[in-house]
Structure 1
Amino acid sequence: MEHKLGIWERIDIWLGWVSVGKPTLSAAILGPVRGRSGADSYHHHVIQATVKKLTSRFSPLQLQYIFKSYDQLYLEYCENTGVKPNLVSNERGLKGFWIGSPTAKYVVINFHGGGFAMDATEPYLEFWPSVARALSDENISTGWFNVAYTLTPHATYPTQFCEAVEALRYVVEDLGRSPSEIILVGDSAGANMCLALLSHLSHPSEDAPALKISAPLKAVVLLSPWLSFRQDWPSMKLNEHRDIDDQKVLERWKQEYLHGRSTNYYVEALEAPQTWWQDAQVQHTLVLAGGAEMLLDSIEAWSKKFSKMKSETTLIVGRNECHIAPLIWPLFADKHETEQGLALKAWLIDRLRM
């Protein structure tokens, strides 16, 4: 069901910008004396404070009104780069678009983050194409299918889960691609969807259409995965003022996604027992996290559990980097290469050369 933004909610956006400006100004003034509990740099301190207030002050509908949709960004990207748009939709609810050729050596299915409530932003169409270019420079061709799944409150679990299953089915069955040529990529909530899909392949859920694949996927890449809804991890407190995430926002977005349903292993991957991952249908797994992000402890805990079942698992933690640093910092004009971004490119080049 599509929800519309009311007139008063639109007026409230203008009032909201005033409240966003206050903590941003405060962070700018107090940034030089932030101490060790703050971000690693003055610029990052201001960025983190701004993002926290943006996501806490505005509702998902308001955020979707403020920022352009993924489709809009893609059409602008195509116009700016001279690429012919290749949008995909079907009667099963799939929506997405291609960057690169569906017949490339490898197909990457990319699920964006945003707490299931926000669309991707401009840096997604800068960072991920830069990864594709780095691979191309090594004679590794990739076609990227970017899934434009339904956001909350327009739909709730398991709609997004079903759309993730349909994305893989489309690539495997409609395009006839071998699973050994497919890579799943996701950040934050998008990484949550990657693991829901991976769970579904070995433990079919009644919440989504059945899907069987003939061989393990080539790889899964998880950037700052949202794996647990618990808020008692030490890193949640330790990195509270160093990260873009906000505990109340995470709780609200979780509630809106579940919409009264109980959690399960397809929603919280960390809650699954270690043996759950024994038959995970993937050859190689990369997990990326920021050393300054609130989700760090849960990411490390899941990686430890998963790697005991799947030895071809790599965890890389970017020093002093926040949640999805390669994607959020460029939104605020910080375009320097992150440790996570560099490690991701090197890891993919190494695995895809094999």
Structure 2
Amino acid sequence: MVDYNVRLGIASATLKAVGSALQRSLTSVFKGANGSNTYYKDIMLAMLRTNFGNLNLAQDRYMYGESSTTTYTKHAEQHGFAPETITLPSGTQAHWLGRKGAKKVLVYFNGGGYVLPCSQGHMLWLDDLQKSLGPDVSALLLAYDVAPEGKYPTQLKQAVELLRYLVETDGRSPSDLILGGDSAGGNLIIGLLSHLAHPHPDIAPLSLPSKIHGIILISPWCSLTNTHTPAFITNAERDMFDARTLERWSKAFLGSDSPFAGDFYNEPVLAAPEWWEPVADIVEEVLIWAGGNEILRDGIEAFAKKFTQGFGKKGGLVNTVVTPAACHEEMILERILGYKGDSGTGSQEVVEGWVRARL
């Protein structure tokens, strides 16, 4: 009965999404700047907004999968390579793309509101990125637990555990690591930086022997509990989801309906510039990327300003890029939608070029 009700809800949401797409297909030509940069993407974003907005947590999970490990295993089978996996002491897994013996590693945390696992499109994008960087660079995806089963700070514990394993057990130098993440994955990286500088009371401290080479934050989810900033209005018809979806996911992740459940580790926009000053002793350089068309833009820019003031004051290098006409994690969405290359915003080139220049 539960599965029937879940499927019924998904069917209802899908019908609404299809109706929204059909309506947008007729009105998109009149949208002007109030939409995406291509006709196809504009219709698909309308469909995604409606679909996400009309699902609940059970339907999210049923529709988008149970685990990143399952996605990785299927990806390996489809692309003809043998899966290689790290199993951490807690049982948490991380999965390799490229040679695990490569000296340089892109340690990656996927987005999905902490509710959705790594999607097939995410995996394709990360695999493509790793291949473009050459055989001397591998990628390692953390298959962290998703909410609501895995509530904060579960994912932060797992991220710390993976970094500890790479440095203390695998003997890797932090200077050979670049940490990357999109959306909730970007939020997780920022939480990890907070923990390294100010140990979380529920997680064992971790001291690194050298600085992490670089950090990539793609559309990081910086403000979990504030869904009333101007960008939520101006970009309402330009992005892939709206406040309904983010509120559902943040409540599942935080395990609370309270608007005051955020802290400096999970809602980095709340932290003052001084909080970020010690991070300059932990990381060499940071890229913060946002799309001009995303509803999270205000939170990202507010965080970037404070982070730059604190991290930059102590000598850290920050590059914040807001790409016009790009939606939330534009370069990843385009891979999910079947694009083989950039559709014109230049978003992929920003990220890929930044990584290449630092390897």
Query: Which of residues 242, 248, 258 is equivalent to 1:246?
Result: 242
Aligned to 1:341: 348
Query: Which of residues 49, 53, 70 is equivalent to 2:68?
Result: 70
Contact 1:60 1:118 (C-alpha < 8 Å) held by counterparts: no
Contact 1:187 1:222 (C-alpha < 8 Å) held by counterparts: yes
> What secondary structure, in the 3-state scheme, does the structure 1 residue paired with 2:325 have?
coil
Q: Does 1:198 align with 2:205?
A: no
Aligned to 1:82: 80
TM-score, L = length of structure 1: 0.92
Aligned to 2:329: 324
Contact 1:110 1:144 (C-alpha < 8 Å) held by counterparts: yes
| CA deviation after TM superposition for structure 1 residue 305, in Å | 2.0
> What secondary structure, in the 3-state scheme, does the structure 2 residue paired with 1:123 have?
helix
Aligned to 1:126: 124
Change (3 A) 1:61 1:209: farther
- Cα distance between partner residues in 2 of 1:9 and 1:64: 10
- Which consecutive residues of structure 1, in runs of 5 or more, have no partner in the other structure? none
Aligned to 1:275: 274
Contact 1:47 1:329 (C-alpha < 8 Å) held by counterparts: no
Q: Which runs of structure 2 are paired with 1:27-106 in the superposition (5 Å)?
A: 27-68=24-65, 69-106=67-104
| CA deviation after TM superposition for structure 1 residue 161, in Å | 1.4
Partner deviation per Cα, 1:140-181 (whole Å, 9 max, x = no partner): 721211011111121211111111111111211221111111
Contact 1:109 1:167 (C-alpha < 8 Å) held by counterparts: no
- Cα distance between partner residues in 1 of 2:129 and 2:340: 14
Contact 2:122 2:335 (C-alpha < 8 Å) held by counterparts: no
Query: Which of residues 250, 256, 260 is equivalent to 2:252?
Result: 256
> What secondary structure, in the 3-state scheme, does the structure 2 residue paired with 1:351 have?
coil
Aligned to 1:154: 149
| CA deviation after TM superposition for structure 1 residue 5, in Å | 5.8
Contact 1:270 1:302 (C-alpha < 8 Å) held by counterparts: yes
- Comparing 60-69 with 159-168, which one deviates more in the overlay? 60-69
- Cα distance between partner residues in 1 of 2:161 and 2:308: 27
Counterpart residue identity of residue 119, structure 1: P
| CA deviation after TM superposition for structure 1 residue 19, in Å | 2.2
Aligned to 2:133: 135
> What secondary structure, in the 3-state scheme, does the structure 2 residue paired with 1:199 have?
helix
> What secondary structure, in the 3-state scheme, does the structure 2 residue paired with 1:278 have?
helix
- Cα distance between partner residues in 1 of 2:291 and 2:156: 26
Aligned to 1:225: 220
Counterpart residue identity of residue 278, structure 1: E
Partner deviation per Cα, 1:223-248 (whole Å, 9 max, x = no partner): 00000132232222111111112012
- Cα distance between partner residues in 2 of 1:291 and 1:79: 37
Contact 1:180 1:215 (C-alpha < 8 Å) held by counterparts: yes
Q: Does 1:183 align with 2:178?
A: yes
- Cα distance between partner residues in 2 of 1:238 and 1:201: 36
> What secondary structure, in the 3-state scheme, does the structure 2 residue paired with 1:205 have?
coil
> What secondary structure, in the 3-state scheme, does the structure 2 residue paired with 1:342 have?
helix
Partner deviation per Cα, 1:184-203 (whole Å, 9 max, x = no partner): 11000000000000110010
- Cα distance between partner residues in 1 of 2:232 and 2:136: 39
> What secondary structure, in the 3-state scheme, does the structure 2 residue paired with 1:109 have?
strand
Q: Does 1:20 align with 2:25?
A: no
Change (3 A) 1:235 1:13: closer
Counterpart residue identity of residue 96, structure 1: A
Contact 1:196 1:266 (C-alpha < 8 Å) held by counterparts: yes
Change (3 A) 1:213 1:199: same
> What secondary structure, in the 3-state scheme, does the structure 2 residue paired with 1:183 have?
strand
- Comparing 82-91 with 240-249, which one deviates more in the overlay? 82-91
- Cα distance between partner residues in 2 of 1:294 and 1:202: 29
> What secondary structure, in the 3-state scheme, does the structure 1 residue paired with 2:231 have?
helix
TM-score, L = length of structure 2: 0.91
- Cα distance between partner residues in 2 of 1:180 and 1:144: 15
- Cα distance between partner residues in 2 of 1:31 and 1:200: 45
